[in-house]
Each structure stands twice: as structure tokens, then as C-alpha cells.
Structure 1
Amino acid sequence: MKLPFEIKSIKYDNVYDNLFIPQNKGWQGGDVAHSIELNDKRILWLFGDTFIGNNDYGQRKVLFPHINNSLAITRKITGSNIDLKFYWKNKDGPPSSFFPSLNKTPDIYYWP
């Protein structure tokens, strides 16, 4: 099958790859990542199924069932210095998806 596009190059990005390692407490990982450039300094990252928990000495301890989505915003400060913040609902209690299902459709989830 011939693709309707051509991939010209692929490169590994150490700066962004290192941003998304599991946190000591909080975001442990998510699948289906998409990024949207908001302006020349900020990028919105959307994730599908996400694990929230702790990372103790390189071992992920997932404390809750996964949530269906989360997001992050990166902000370029200077050069390769980038600020990163993750978002989901109920940061002080059991986590839940940033974009919740509608009451009429509880089994339909919002994934990027």
C-alpha cells in the first residue's frame, strides 16, 4: 500500500523525550499523545489513557485505576529550559479524566 504522504525524516528529541518520564508523584504515563502549538512558547499535549501514582526509585506505583485522558502544557523559558505542568481532575483526591464522559454516555470517553 502506498501512503498518501512521504516521511522525509525522523529524529529523536532528547529535550522533549526527557520531559515525559514518570514524575516522583503524579503523572506516570499516558498513551496516544498529540501536541498542539499554542504559540511560539507554549505547547498543549493531549493524552489518552493515563496512569497517576508515584515513582519510587524507578518503580512506578500506580495508586488508582487509569483515567481516560489528561493534558500537559509545556512553556519554553530559555533555550532548552522548558516548564511542564500536567492536568487532570481531582488533584487532591482520586484522579479523574480532564474531559469527563457525559452523563448520557458514561461508556464513551474522550481520547485525543
Structure 2
Amino acid sequence: MYVKFADGNQNKYPIWENIILIEANSDEEALEKAETRAKEDESESEDDFTWENRSASLIFAGIRKLISCNNPDENPHHGTEISYSQMEVKTEDELSKLVKGESVTIIYEE
């Protein structure tokens, strides 16, 4: 999901990667259900959605990855990994900054 400003002045793109659990019988069905579910979170500027006091829309950008959680005998529970992200930084100092939530350049791997 990303923010698109209504005034057309887009000097940054606030984004979210939402991780949503979807139950499906195939990857194709999961992708279709995930897209449908994600689009439910969209908001238009006409819906009075604002970001930083500016009229904006929250837009579905797409599904970046689909990860299968196969454990048919048990529902997800505390400690179940549902998703992960693999990324890279160049130095240990950058790693420390990333962990603290500070600004750092990352290489995001699929």
C-alpha cells in the first residue's frame, strides 16, 4: 500500500508491506484472495483520507511475495513464522541503525 497525494506533489511515497494470512487451496487462489483482501484497505481522497494533513489516497500497489505456510494438522499459533524478509546492509554500523529504526539504505532481496 502507498500514499498518493491528491495535489499531485509527490516528493515521497509512504509505503506499507502488510502481511496477511490467507487460506487457499492453491497459490493461484491465494494470490486472488490476497489481492481482493488488500484492495479492501484502499482509501480515496474523497473518503477524507489524509496523510500529514494533506488530502491523499491509500493505494494498493500489488502483491510482492506469496509464502506458503504448510502445516495442515495445526493452525498458526504463537511462534509460527508466517513471513520473512531478506535484506542486506553494507556495514555493521548500518545493521545497528536498521535495528534501532534509524534511516539506512538496504538491499531488499526476494
Do they fold alike, i.e. is TM over 0.5?
no
Higher helix share: 2
TM-score range, shorter chain: under 0.3
**Larger RCO: 1 or 2 (CA < 8 Å, sep 6+):** 2
Higher strand share: 1
Whichever of the two has the greater Rg, that structure is 2
